[in-house]
Amino acid sequence: SYVLTQPPSVSVAPGKTARITCGGNNIGSKSVHWYQQKPGQAPVLVIYYDSDRPSGIPERFSGSNSGNTATLTISRVEAGDEADYYCQVWDSSSDHHWVFGGGTKLTVL
């Protein structure tokens, strides 16, 4: 089955740029979605189809995907961005499963 690998944690100072990676075999050939989950809350879709933002998501959130790595970039990080972030792809090669990465805890210093 397809595996997505995320760093367990990323730390960044307020106002700086955070980059959260999601590694997978030839992930650039797949569409990657990103979710933000704050403690005690349901996940929220922040990026879909590699780099599109749903309505209501700030422009500070952007995404890219190439080769074996997809990246969620958060510019001008704010304290309110502190959360867990998950990448997701649809693995059509193995019985049509949706796969999530293990999640990355973003800490705003």
Residues at the interface with other proteins (CB under 8 A): 1, 30-31, 33, 35, 37, 42-45, 48-49, 52, 54, 84, 86, 88-90, 95-103
Least Å distance, CB 7 to other proteins, is 13
Give the contacts of 79 (CB within 8 A, at least 6 positions apart): 14, 108
Least Å distance, CB 38 to other proteins, is 12
> Of 28 and 76, which has the nearer Cβ to other proteins?
28
Q: What are the beta bridge partners of residue 87? A: 34
32: which 2 tokens?
């990657």
